[in-house]
Amino acid sequence: TDLSHIRNFSIVAHIDHGKSTLADRLIQSTGTVQDRDMKEQLLDAMDIERERGITIKANTVRIDYVADDGRKYVLNLIDTPGHVDFAYEVSRSMRAVEGSLLVVDSTQGVEAQTLANVYQAIDADHEIVPVLNKIDLPAADCERVAEQIEDVIGIDASGAIQVSAKTGIGIHETLEAIVKLLPPPQGERDAPLKAMLVDSWYDAYLGVIVLVRIIDGVLKKGDRIRMMHNDSIHHVDRIGVFRPPMQTVDELGPGEIGFLTASIKQVRDTRVGDTITHEKKGADKALPGFKPSQPVVFCGLFPVDNAEFEDLRDAIEKLALNDASFSFEMETSAALGFGFRCGFLGLLHLEVIRDRIEREYDIDLITTAPSVIYNVHMRDGEMIELHNPADMPDLTHVDHIEEPRIKATILVPDEFLGDVLKLCQDRRGIQMDLTYAGSRAMVVYDLPLNEVVFDFYDRLKSVTKGYASFDYQMIGYRQDHLVKMQILVNDEPVDALSTMVHRDRAETRGRAMVEKLKDLIPRHMFKIPIQAAIGGRIIARETLAALRKDVTAKCYGGDATRKKKLLEKQKAGKKKMRQFGKVDIPQEAFINALKMD
Ligand code: GDP
Ligand code: MG
């Protein structure tokens, strides 16, 4: 059969370099969508994604294009998530296509995410077409950026297309380059079915929708299919393509990208990267390289109001239905009551889920300190995966502890290099590499993931005035001198504030935390000691003085309305607090106490 008219591609770019705008423009210029149906940024579906300007779920669109050679082509664009948390999903979507447009903002140049994503494309053997975007801006410097692409990435950029996704310059050239430079897919129509599961999501009407790339064979409506990772059998009730509205088709053949529905109830029952085949006469070997994505960051989510626990359970279960990489189990905390220990692919993933619970389900949450998974090796030879510092076993039984490390790549203008090196050093980093490309430095550090999950990215942005870019990958576990630090408020341990820290940093961290908490906890009618401890030993201490008098009476004397307002404010604030023994601790204290300056 003839696959020569199909082109499958993705767009790789650093955030804000114009990936979504370019995708929209390609779709619009081929008349795939009527102009009046064209919403800004068609491919970014969820509200939160739109607000944050990031793409989280892979998405796809089929574009019909009549090229200058007079032939009709089918172009399938898979939009990939741009954030490090979703690196595994990026790598799977890359394997579903043959080529990539590498979009670089011609006023900015190559950034860390550009590198991470383009290396994924290179790993997937893609043909890569460089696209220099935003040439309508006066600061555009195509020559410099093309040179940088060659220097830093090592691909030929002499034929880079100069584009303005905003005004439409270069869009025709881009479409022609896709047709001329990217290879068509290959595949055997008569071979047993092999379809790669690229993505899946839940739809209220259709159930789980599964995005597939057909490698070999043909998928038809009514087929009985088998998911190879768990041998589950499903009956296909619908297949189709995205234009971007869903359009049903009779079959999907080799090289094609489309969706199926099969009365699958939960996204959990599908696994990105899995191979789908027919129940009968199926393929005997799955596609190589399948590995489900694993949560790496854990934290506790507790309702501020204990009465909302069941609502929280409901929200978490619903969100989990649609997100196989989000894990949860019930947790009880002496201080916080009933809640959930949740696992995420990274911090952004955590924030997105937390935001959705607060926003879509209207539940106020206490988020405990994010933690990574520690390998705790016991004296008796057993190894425990520690997801929660509160579960740390008694030290007398522990032989040693290992923590996950990452390889972090940071690109930064020269003038901020000193600050970046200091930040990495402060976070127990080991420098692996330092090179220059023009006036920008590329530093590679081996860092403990634990030191990065919290506020590393925020700090990096602030010390470099937003000019640094950052990306990382896990490199494995290594032993270090780690201890559990507890915080005692009014002599009671608050387990939600327990953290694992390096022994050498414990005093500094402990002091910083108790000082912060002193500001974050409001004064009470009695004085409150706030302490940091390792085992039974106090390593830092502050005392929050008692309130002397009725503040409202003193400050506002006779002004009744102001007094009332103040009391109302206090009441509203109270709602967001939790009582620990006799002490009220505001919700934001749990996160803010951990931020390091
Ligand atoms: P993404 O994060 O890579 O998907 O980037 P977006 O497509 O969301 O674009 C980021 C910002 O750059 C938006 O404000 C766009 O309007 C703007 N933008 C994208 N392409 C161009 C362009 O060609 N010229 C100009 N001037 N702005 C652009
Ligand atoms: Mg985007």
Q: Sheet holding 224-227: strands in order across?
A: 232-235, 224-227, 275-278, 194-203, 207-216, 257-261, 238-242, 246-248
Q: What is the ipTM of this complex?
A: 0.99
- How many angstroms does the Cα of residue 95 sit away from the middle of ligand 2? 20
- How many angstroms does the Cα of residue 14 sit away from the middle of ligand 2? 9
- How many angstroms does the Cα of residue 249 sit away from the middle of ligand 2? 28
Q: Which residues of the chain register pLDDT less than 70?
A: 1, 32-58, 81-85, 292, 335, 548-560, 562-563, 566-579, 587, 591, 594-597
The ligand 1 atom at the shortest distance from the C-alpha of residue 167 is: 23
Please tell me the number of the ligand nearest to residue 19's CA: 1
pLDDT of 219: 97
How many Cβ atoms from other residues are within 10 Å of residue 354's Cβ? 16
Q: Is 593 helix (H, G, I), strand (E, B) or coil?
A: coil
- Ligand 1, from 11, 14, 21: best to mutate by most atoms within 8 Å of Cβ? 21
Does the beta carbon of 370 sit less than 6 angstroms from any atom of ligand 1?
Answer: no
Residue 110 sits at φ, ψ, to 5 deg, of: -70, 135
User: Residues annotated in the binding site, as ranges?
Assistant: 16-21, 133-136
**C-alpha–C-alpha distance, residues 391 and 382, integer Å:** 15
Residue 536 sits at φ, ψ, to 5 deg, of: -95, 0
Residue 553 sits at φ, ψ, to 5 deg, of: -65, -40
Please tell me the number of the ligand nearest to residue 18's CA: 1
Cis bond before residue 413 (omega within 30° of 0): no
- How many angstroms does the Cα of residue 251 sit away from the middle of ligand 2? 31
Please tell me the number of the ligand nearest to residue 14's CA: 1
Q: Which residues contact 313 (CB under 8 A, 6 or more apart)?
A: 340
How would you class 423 by CB atoms within 10 Å of its CB: exposed for 0-12, middle for 13-18, buried for 19 or more?
Answer: buried
Let me know the angle formed at the C-alpha of 45 by 410 and 25, rounded to the nearest 5 degrees.
80
Q: Which two tokens stand for residue 115?
A: 């590198």
Please tell me the number of the ligand nearest to residue 17's CA: 1
How many Cβ atoms from other residues are within 10 Å of residue 179's Cβ? 17
Does the beta carbon of 16 sit less than 6 angstroms from any atom of ligand 1?
Answer: yes
Residue nearest to atom 14 of ligand 1 (CA): 16
Helix then strand then coil, in percent of the chain rounded to 5, is 30, 35, 35
**C-alpha–C-alpha distance, residues 279 and 225, integer Å:** 5
pLDDT of 54: 47
- DSSP secondary structure of 162-231: E--TTT-TTHHHHHHHHHHHSPPP---TTSPPEEEEEEEEEETTTEEEEEEEEEES-EETT-EEEETTTT
**C-alpha–C-alpha distance, residues 448 and 180, integer Å:** 45
- Ligand 1, from 11, 16, 114: best to mutate by most atoms within 8 Å of Cβ? 16
Amino acid at 28: Q
* pLDDT tens column, 452-500: 887 788 788 889 887 888 878 888 999 999 999 999 999 988 888 888 9
Residue nearest to atom 25 of ligand 1 (CA): 134
- How many angstroms does the Cα of residue 327 sit away from the middle of ligand 1? 34
Q: Is 11 helix (H, G, I), strand (E, B) or coil?
A: strand
Judge contact between 52 and 166, C-beta under 8 A: no
Pairing of strands 257-261, 238-242: antiparallel
How far CA 209 is from CA of 39, 93, 242, 258, 325, in Å, comes to: 22, 16, 12, 10, 17
pLDDT of 567: 67
First to last CA, the chain: 62
* pLDDT tens column, 261-287: 998 988 888 888 899 999 999 999 998
The ligand 1 atom at the shortest distance from the C-alpha of residue 165 is: 23
pLDDT of 207: 85
- How many angstroms does the Cα of residue 19 sit away from the middle of ligand 2? 6
Residue nearest to atom 24 of ligand 1 (CA): 134
pLDDT of 10: 94
pTM of the model: 0.72
How far CA 427 is from CA of 289, 472, 480, 500, in Å, comes to: 33, 15, 14, 14
